[in-house]
Amino acid sequence: MIDSRLPLALDGGGLMWPDEGPIAVFGPAPDLDLHEIPKDRAVIVHDFYPAYRHWEDRGFEVAVDRSDRVAAAVVCLPRAKHEARALIAQACALSDGVVVIDGQKTDGIEGILKTMRGRVTVHGPVTKAHGKLFWIDAPAADCFADWAAGPALTDGGFWTAPGVFSADGVDLASALLADALPEKLGKHVCDLGAGWGFLSAHVLTRDTVEAMHLVEAGHTALECARRNVTDPRAQFHWADGTDWAPAHKMDTVVMNPPFHVGRAAEPQIGQAFVASAARLLAPQGHLWMVANRHLPYEAELKTRFAQVEEIGGDGRFKLFHATRPLNKRR
């Protein structure tokens, strides 16, 4: 992690921060220790709402995006290749000084390092804890302008972006759930973890829906959803799906919940979404959910709902319909 490599680079490794000016830090994980970056100069740039809130609570200046110039920049490499390249392009375009790149081997840091070495002079790398840290000097904006990327229209007619779930098109699991949804879903519907809006767009083909709440933690994904779901009944919420609190209960929740933040599967995330769905629903409300077949959600569903039924699926995915939320506390 960067908190093990950055001190080595700064302490005799040749890396130096500029004497003044803001230092943008793109995409740091919430568990990182950033004490080597002056807190009064750090600007955390994060798209993911739980991480944004975490850094804000720790007293850092935080932004969803950054357009003002910075004295230096640090990119904490995400695992999606095109998202990583887009962040590097953005950092290089904004920085008047050094740009630091840090990442794990599993996040593709070796490939990024090799490619960048073919374009600019690279300093370092510092290798430790299954990862690398290296840096380049300004100016480098023109060297990586071709890596810049943002929301774009896919061949299927939907807007997506690098790093957004199912960026290449419609997710097969979501399509399976969309086909299984009944015609009547009630007046108030929530898409928990809405992504770029595929399920919500499908739900809004029903005239009986009065309000469609898209709850999504990824700001870029939500901005894509705004382009994909233009129905005036849609309401967009940049929020953590596990603790979002609307003004009133929902008649229906639909969801294809996330189950990982990094590479490893973390079924507790989906389990937290199940608990959240039960909390959001009216006493006679309905949950319609799709999940990968290997994920253990049945026990949590039965803890949170009086009636749970597996209604189909295929070899990869399973569909659930749950009613009568119990809202039990652990």
CA distances 77 to 137, 183, 202, Å, are 18, 43, 34
- pLDDT recorded at residue 330: 43
State the CATH architecture for 152-325.
3-Layer(aba) Sandwich (3.40)
Q: Give the closest residue to 208 by CA, choosing from 185, 225, 231, 233.
A: 185
CATH class as words, domain 2-147:
alpha beta
- Whether residue 163 contacts residue 80, with contact meaning beta carbons closer than 8 Å, is answered with yes
* pLDDT, tens digit (0-9, with 9 covering 90-100), for 303-330: 999 999 999 989 999 999 999 999 754 4
Bridge partners of residue 188, in order along the sequence: 211
Amino acid sitting at position 193: G
- pLDDT recorded at residue 13: 93
CA distances 14 to 85, 123, 130, 275, Å, are 24, 8, 21, 49
d(CA 318, CA 33) in angstroms, rounded, equals 39
Q: How far apart are the first and last CA of the chain?
A: 33
Where exactly are the structural domains of the chain?
A: 2-147, 152-325
Q: Mean pLDDT of residues grouped by 10 in the chain (330 residues)?
A: 94 95 97 95 97 97 95 96 96 96 96 96 96 91 92 90 90 96 98 97 97 97 97 98 96 90 71 97 97 93 97 94 80
- pLDDT recorded at residue 98: 97
Bridge partners of residue 192, in order along the sequence: 215
- pLDDT recorded at residue 267: 84
- pLDDT recorded at residue 258: 87
2-147 and 152-325: identical CATH topology: yes
- pLDDT recorded at residue 260: 59
